[in-house]
Amino acid sequence: MSSFAWSYLYTLAAMSVAFVGFSSLVIVLRQTMGGEMSKLDTLITRTFIQVGFLVAGGALLPALLTLLHLGEMATWRLASAVTAVPVLVFALTYPVRRKSASGVRTPVMIWIDSLVILGFALLLGCNALGVVVASGPGPYTAALTGVLFVSGWAYLQAVNTLIRHHRARGGQ
């Protein structure tokens, strides 16, 4: 595998870990605003931490598989299959888990975010099976990057919602 692919994956892992730390600021922000953590706040924070570590682990997985002396094609296919499972489970379950935690209908944007992440899970599955796309580092890194970017966008949506709810309750 090219050194560019390794560098990219290591950078993606570092960005994901930074995202985990940054996303935990929701807890601090919520407490600074004078409120207790609701079930939804806890779910959102835990979700962003999970997704960040999922992407970080996924970014490191091909290097681990290479150390096990798998061939290049086997490395990308196995890494894609292993990573696709939690991404798929997340995309399929998050809207329902969010509704359960909040007690209200899941917003349309959450459904859209979940559908986009589902698309990245399907890309990983295609890369694992060698269908629709040629198996390799391109589809793998594109899917992981996409999951991280959608999570970053969703994080900004969550913070915006938190601030709007605080202001609606009479906050500054």
How big is the chain, counted in residues? 172
Cα gap 153→146, rounded to integer Å? 10
Q: Over pLDDT 90: what percentage of the chain?
A: 54
**127, exposed or middle or buried, with CB in 10 Å at 0-12, 13-18, 19+?**
buried
- Which residues, 6 or more positions from 43, have their beta carbon under 8 angstroms from its beta carbon? 97, 98, 101
**34, exposed or middle or buried, with CB in 10 Å at 0-12, 13-18, 19+?**
exposed
**111, exposed or middle or buried, with CB in 10 Å at 0-12, 13-18, 19+?**
middle
Q: What is the mean pLDDT of the chain?
A: 88
**Residue 110: predicted pLDDT:** 92
**Residue 60: predicted pLDDT:** 94
Would you kindly state where each structural domain of the chain is located, as residue ranges?
3-161
At 82-116, the pLDDT tens digits run 999 999 999 999 999 999 998 999 999 999 999 99
Number of Cβ within 10 Å of residue 94's Cβ equals 21
Which of 1.20.120, 2.40.50, 1.10.1220, 1.10.10 would CATH assign to domain 3-161? 1.20.120
Name the least confident of 4-13, 27-36, 155-164.
27-36
CB 155 within 8 A of CB 23: yes
Over 90: is that where the pLDDT of 34 sits?
A: no
At 118-158, the pLDDT tens digits run 999 999 999 999 999 998 999 999 999 999 999 999 888 88
**144, exposed or middle or buried, with CB in 10 Å at 0-12, 13-18, 19+?**
buried
